[in-house]
Structure 1
Amino acid sequence: MNKPYSFSNDQMNGIVEETYSRIIKECENLKKKLIVQMSR
């Protein structure tokens, strides 16, 4: 099998961590928006 994308374990961990932290931030932003809308 030819792998067009091959990352080392460290690279994968870095990518996963970065993506995870972005998702968490996005969720926090959405929660804040929801709370603001619900409190109106």
Structure 2
Amino acid sequence: MREAQDRPVAVIEKNQIKASLVSAELFETMLVRLGDFNQGSG
């Protein structure tokens, strides 16, 4: 399952992340960026 580490993948459905194969740090960064985007567009 080493290929999964080389290819970060997230399945997003209806603006909700259903499955994620990313590191915890990257995942948290994604959530922060999504939060900033949602606040900026609102």
TM-score normalized by structure 1? 0.53
What RMSD, in angstroms, separates the aligned Cα atoms of the two structures?
A: 1.6
Which one has the bigger strand percentage? 2
Which structure is larger by alpha-carbon Rg, 1 or 2?
A: 1
User: Which has the higher relative contact order, 1 or 2, with Cα contacts under 8 A spaced 6 or more apart?
Assistant: 2
Unaligned runs of 5+ in 2: 10-20
Unaligned runs of 5+ in 1: 28-40
Structure 1 residue runs of 4+, over 3 Å off? none
Percent pairwise identity: 4
Aligned length: 25
